[in-house]
Chains A and B, each alone.
Chain A
Amino acid sequence: MAIGILRRWAASAPVPVFIARGGGAGWRPVELAADPRVRLVPSPRHASVLLAAGRFPGPMGEALDRVHDQLPAPRAAVWWTADADAGRPAALQGASVVPGPDPVDRIVAAHRATVLGDAPSSPDVGADVPPNEFVGLGDNGHGGEGMMGGVPYGRPMAMTADDRDGLALDRLSVTLGPFLPGFTNGLQATVALQGGIVQELSLDVLDLGEGRSLDDLAGEAPTPWRTRLRWLSEALRVGGLDALAVRTARAARQGDEATSTVALVRRSGLLRSWSGIGALDGLDAASRLAGALDPSGPAPGGQADVPLDRLAASLVGSDWADVVVAICSFGFVAGENAHPRAVHR
């Protein structure tokens, strides 16, 4: 009885959704924040529905599988795509497919069905085991000093190393992305960190495949301003302004000029917070954001074609959180051109 009431209450809550943006999704899924029936969350652990938006070929599909298994049960997966006949990752085998302009009805239905027990929770697709066997010393074993270093189970383990402050902090190598908040579609970072400081960084874009975009699916050709507002909504979430992000998503969906929203963003201190971060060729994250806030302004000149390796090199020595902000700031484009190159298809 009590459990039934609890489940009914749970089913009627706004649905926490983790969005994985794939090929052809652009920033369109960010507009879903405008719908009060859903709530976009920063971690798959907080979600009850995984929304896979777009195409997920090859490594993108493998990454999606890993994210899927991180959602807590009961969970559901919804695939919003124009290319359902293309390769379907394991995580989406049992997913509802939405071949239309708005997936929210299906998201809410899937959420309610799984929470109320009317549909099974989406099962794990990966085995809960280490990626490799432990082999003592060697490629998948210890290799450092004492209990540190090496690659036990094939995963690099932290090892002390020299750093800028002379503290000899642990150095840890990890791969982050491609579904991190603020990251452009398919972007993956391979990073060596000491504390929160980036010592090495390489950025790659996973294959996003070819096909129709979600905007094509909706039969819409978004204006440059609408694309900016979509990006701005994501940037505001990264900046800790979730309510303003919702306001901006509503403006994007309604095609507003969003004058009052832009004024609120200017007064929020986000421009000050982002100043000095991700500086490249005299422009920093704040100046890129300022450019995006001007409806009539062009995209910041001179950075429309920044290669990823140059961007990565400019971010070495930064705090990881600043790297996220910097990468996010480069996601601003006036149209659908890649910025940085090839990451916004």
Chain B
Amino acid sequence: MKQVSTEILVIGGGAAGLSAAAEAASAGAKVLIVESDLRLGGQLIKQTHKFFGSKDEFAGTRGFKIADILLNEIDAFKDSVSVLQNTTVTGFYIEDDTFTAMRGEEEVFQIKTQKTIVATGAQERLIPFPNNDLPGVYGAGAVQTLMNVYGVLPGKRVLMVGAGNIGLIVSYQLMQAGVEVAAVVEAAPRVGGYWVHAAKIRRMGVPILLRHSIKKALGEDIITGAVISELNEKFEHVGPEREIACDLICIAVGLSPTTELLSQAGCKMMYVPQLCGNVAQRDRTMRTSHPDFYTAGDASGIEEASAAMVEGRIAGLSAAAALGYPTEHGKIDEYWGRLESLRMGEAGARICQGIECVLVKGWEGAAHE
């Protein structure tokens, strides 16, 4: 079987992976980025809104422009960074210390590497309700891919499930694309996302129904509507049913970290609700319990893209340093400073609690727990 080798393998070419690759390459390391999608940039290329956060992470710039900035940065290291798009890393075989990968659906090969940065991102969560499997129930990220990357109309009239930042932002983007938003339902008693995003869609007349959720989807083969109702404190449907005519139900109820490869490598995993799922324990260099595996971005805990970029920088820098490439002293502390400033505020406090659970000081002793 064909085998490719590299010094640092970066799995996932999104916000975290591109930052990791740029950082590792700037230290002098040879990097291979493997991306399952047809384009690099991950979720950034679907984001049309201007980012919050800090200037260091391009606050005020639209997401897809940030992707361009990172791609330009990578371009400067053409000699040391290679990229495989439309290529999925399908597994890690610990006994052979080898990855298997698939380019397209047919071409299978192996990858050998000294260090690996797992920046595989996240996947959409789904909530249970009858007919949630019918075509027309789409994840929020998928809706963004259709309309913001490929310019395809995702539907005519949508029910948005979830009023976190993603639900609110995607509702606004749907309206920009010419899709009618019937309503946003949110199970919690308050809006989860930033107030400015909620205000924007309220100004355009979209009702945000708090303590409401979808009870069932309607349709034989494809979605023709949804039944919603009010919830009580125990999140049980209690209020009168209301039927909403729609051909699209957009699910924005959160994401789960994509961590299978880390588990396959035997990295110590932990379920951390604040980070939205099972994530790898890591030290301040983003190294996991496996000495050659690093984690960054949503794969290490669901957070905003700004933080993913900084975590990617830390992982890239550390992996290069571990290979003996000279890196600037104190850089990791500087990046941690940036993370701390990004994690100020209410949502950040929750993230910090989660990080505290998975962050280890060192691996001696911990490795044999």
Say if A and B assemble together: no
